[in-house]
Structures are given as C-alpha cells and as structure tokens.
Structure 1
Amino acid sequence: MAGTTNDLIYEVLKAVQRDVSVVRNDVNDLKHQMNAVRTHLTAIQQDVGNIYNRLGHLEDRVDRIEVRLGLVEPAH
C-alpha cells in the first residue's frame, strides 16, 4: 500500500463511478423494455380471451344450425 496515493484511488473511484452509471442506465432501459413486453403480453391475453369468447358463440350457432338441419338430435 506504500505506493498507493490519493490520486490513484481517486482515479479508480471515478472509473467505478462511470461503470456504475452505465450499468444504471442499462438497467433503466431494461425496465422500460420489460414494461413494454408486459403491456404487449396483457394485450395478447385479452385478445386470446376475446377469441375464445367468439369461438364459444360460433359453436353455439353451429349447434343450433345442426339441430335445425336435423343433423343431430336436440339436447334437452
């Protein structure tokens, strides 16, 4: 430690501070990207739910059509 000076320690600390700043910026960017992904995932889940809902309605309609055409017996 005899050769260690305050100037050398200061330079090392400045480099560490720059690195931490870069990491902080990268983490913030990742947070924004994750929030965007979360938003898109929520939208996809809602779309899938809507598709299932529409398919259920179409299935009901097909069932009624089959009964009217006499292709199946009516369910009681």
Structure 2
Amino acid sequence: MAEGQNNAALTYLRRLDEKVDRAAKDMREVKSRLGILENQYANVSNRLDRLDERMARLENRLGLADA
C-alpha cells in the first residue's frame, strides 16, 4: 500500500513540476514582451519631446510664445 501512495505522490510532484516549468516559461515571455513595450514607449516619448521642442521653436519664430 505504501508503494502505491509513494508512486501517487511522485506522479503529483512531477505534474506540479511541469506546471511550475510552464509558468516560469510564460513569465520569461511576459518579461520579454514587457521589455519590448518599454523600449517602444521610450522611443515614442523621445519623439514627442522632439516634437515639443520643434513646436516651441516655431511658436517663438511666429511670436506666438507665451511671455
């Protein structure tokens, strides 16, 4: 009887180990995708900053800047 319980416990632990491995793999993928999104956000932010600077220069040239 103890042998059957031992095998059942090992089977359960193996299944649990497989699930943990899948969760770890999924987490790595999520982190990778998050890194890509952070890069894209940084690029968009930089572009908006440059557009803001260009707009300020145009406003100054046209005399539209707030005093």
* TM-score normalized by the length of structure 2: 0.93
Between Structure 1 and Structure 2, which shows a larger proportion of helix residues?
A: 2
Where relative contact order (Cα < 8 A, 6+ residues apart) is larger, the structure is 2
Q: Choose 1 or 2 for highest CA Rg.
A: 1
- Matched ranges for 1:1-76 at <5 A: 8-72=1-65
Structure 1: 5+ residue runs without aligned partners? 1-7
CA–CA distance in 2 between the matches of 1:73 and 1:67? 9
What is the identity percentage for the equivalent residue pairs of Structure 1 and Structure 2? 25
RMSD value, Cα: 1.4
* TM-score normalized by the length of structure 1: 0.83
Report SS of the residue matched to 1:71. Answer: coil
Q: How many residues align?
A: 67
Q: Deviations over 1:27-65 (max 9, x none)?
A: 000000000000011111111111110011000110011
